[in-house]
Amino acid sequence: MSLRALTQQERSDALLKAAQARAVRAEAKARIKSGEASIAEIIKAGAEDSAIARLRIVDLLEALPGVGPVRAAAIMKEIGIAASRRVRGLGVHQARALIDFVDDK
């Protein structure tokens, strides 16, 4: 079964919506990097904002100062979070463990 073809207007609307979602996620990562927001605040915002809910946890961790791809992967492995997990997919215990880990460090 194939998807129906989008009209030019539907396609441009979808592209605009995707660009806005990327901008929201980039702004959230910038707030983490600058220290304006904490991991807990971003996870809480993910419950209300679908764009932030689609933010990958590894990208969120890499936005922290001093955390790169290797360290982010190690943190996720230690906590028990899959590499493909997004903010929306975190369980209550995973979210609490992540927040506690980042706050302790």
Question: What are the tens digits of pLDDT across the range 73-99?
Answer: 999 999 999 999 999 999 999 999 999
CATH number, residue 26: 1.10.8.50
Q: What is the reported pLDDT for 6?
A: 85
Query: Whole domain around residue 52: which residue ranges?
Result: 8-104
pTM to 2 decimal places = 0.85
Q: What tens digit of pLDDT does each residue of 2-36 get?
A: 788 889 999 999 999 999 999 999 999 999 999 99
- Determine, yes or no, domain membership for 1: no
Residue 2 belongs to some domain of the structure: no
Is residue 53 assigned to a domain?
Answer: yes
Based on the structure, what is the number of domains in the chain?
1
Is residue 30 a part of any domain in this protein?
A: yes
Could you tell me if 14 and 6 are in contact, meaning their C-beta atoms sit under 8 angstroms apart?
A: yes
Q: What is d(CA 68, CA 23) in angstroms, rounded to the nearest whole number?
A: 21
